[in-house]
Chain A
Amino acid sequence: MNARDESNWASKVDRLEVSDELTAAGFNVRGRRLAGAQQGFGKLWQRRYAIDLGSVITPEQVVADWKQRFPTYWPKGATFHVALTGLQPGAVAPIVIASGAPGLTVSTGILVLYMDDTSFTFMCPEGHMFAGWITFGAEEDEAGSTVADVKIMIRTSDPIYELGWPVMKRKEDVFWSATLVNLARDHGVHDVQVVETTTCVDRKRLWHNWSNVANNSGLRSAWHSVTSPFRSSKAS
């Protein structure tokens, strides 16, 4: 086995833990198991968003910066919480996303599954809207240009999220396009064109996973929000 490999991957975990400083944001992640594409519910999609950053910057430079400043490239309305130890294989990062309903946010998170010099991959926990992987990377194309991309392999997690897929798909398009535009702008590339491709890898829904709905992060976040005053009064 190649020596570079072991440190690139997260160590095996059965249940996710959240670092102390992120406890509040990570209430919907702590104790959850990871969920790969085969643990999801909906159709399996492979999606890619890509931008051409030209030949001034190398793939390694782009990815090093992307890892370092990952949360700053996200558009408004979503917060990515990085632990003090930073983004590294095995790190758990809670995510808080505006739901669209006033005052209501959805809390979930990711585990950093894999990292090397030209890519890094997040894996979703149970309850996340999606089950699967998302890889951020950069490589040099045949013309010598650095192409940065976001590659996604996901199913929606449960029947509720599957119903919302047409809306979520459009939101994903806006979200990852904006992220890549922000990344490009930070490297001096303006008027960048985001190229999106989508392939349905499996049209079959995994009905045996319908009960994933019990961990639905939207429902659990709403419940957490509704019961928040009671928890506060109990604490005081």
Chain B
Amino acid sequence: MPVPVATMGVRHPRTDVAVIDIGGEVTSHCESVLMSAYEEACPPGTRGIVLNFSSLDYMNSGGIGMLVTLLVRANRNKQKLAACGLTAHYTQIFELTRLDEAISLHDDEAAALAGLASR
């Protein structure tokens, strides 16, 4: 069975905030890729991380579980998580699973960065 492929790119638009560009198919199979991206995104002093889902093709329930694991790690490091670029469908999934109560949702990256700055 082919393993779903996810891509994770890391950018640092500000010294205290990182952006992880998440693309492809997000399932539990890509946990190590996401956690590596998180490590890369988090030099000392990082206070917030934006998860940019603009290039997301597909996410299953395993992917949602993985985001919970990421959230726990971010909380442990006293970092805030924000998400942007979600389609209407995935926005509803975040609301259904109540992930939106822990990861703030924004229309675009600029709004997510602004949101993290104000928290």
Chain A interface (Cβ < 8 Å from any Cβ of B): 1-2, 4-6, 8-13, 33-39, 44, 46, 59, 113-114, 116, 118-119, 121, 123, 133, 135, 139-140, 151, 153, 201-202, 204
Contacts and interface: CB of A to CB of B under 8 A. Distances in A.
A1 B65 contact: no
A114 B58 CA distance: 13
B97 A36 contact: yes
A12 B97 CA distance: 9
Ranked nearest first, the 7 interchain pairs of A and B with the lowest CB-CB distance are: A121-B61, A114-B61, A2-B58, A202-B72, A12-B92, A36-B98, A38-B102
Nearest to B62: A135
Q: Is the interface of B mostly helix, strand, loop or mixed?
A: helix
B57 interface: yes
Given A1-B56, A38-B68, 18 more contacts: A1-B58, A1-B87, A4-B58, A8-B60, A34-B98, A35-B98, A36-B68, A38-B71, A38-B101, A39-B98, A59-B1, A116-B60, A121-B61, A133-B97, A135-B65, A151-B62, A201-B68, A202-B72
A9 B93 contact: yes
Interface in B8-67: 25, 28, 56-62, 64-65
B3 to A, nearest CB: 10
A113 B71 CA distance: 20
A139 B1 contact: yes
A57 to B, nearest CB: 14
B99 A133 contact: no
B66 to A, nearest CB: 9
B interface bracket (residues with beta carbon within 8 Å of A) = 20 to 34
B34 to A, nearest CB: 14
A133 B65 contact: yes
B96 interface: yes
B108 interface: no
Interface of B: 1, 25, 28, 56-62, 64-65, 68-69, 71-72, 75-76, 87, 89-90, 92-93, 95-99, 101-102
Given A12-B92, A114-B60, A153 B1 contact: no
A61 to B, nearest CB: 13
21 contacts: A1-B58, A2-B25, A4-B58, A5-B89, A9-B93, A9-B96, A10-B96, A11-B92, A12-B92, A35-B98, A37-B68, A38-B99, A38-B101, A39-B101, A113-B61, A118-B1, A139-B1, A151-B28, A201-B69, A202-B75, A204-B75
Given A1-B87, A36-B68, A38-B68, A133 B61 contact: yes
A113 B97 contact: yes
A113 B58 contact: no
A44 B72 contact: yes
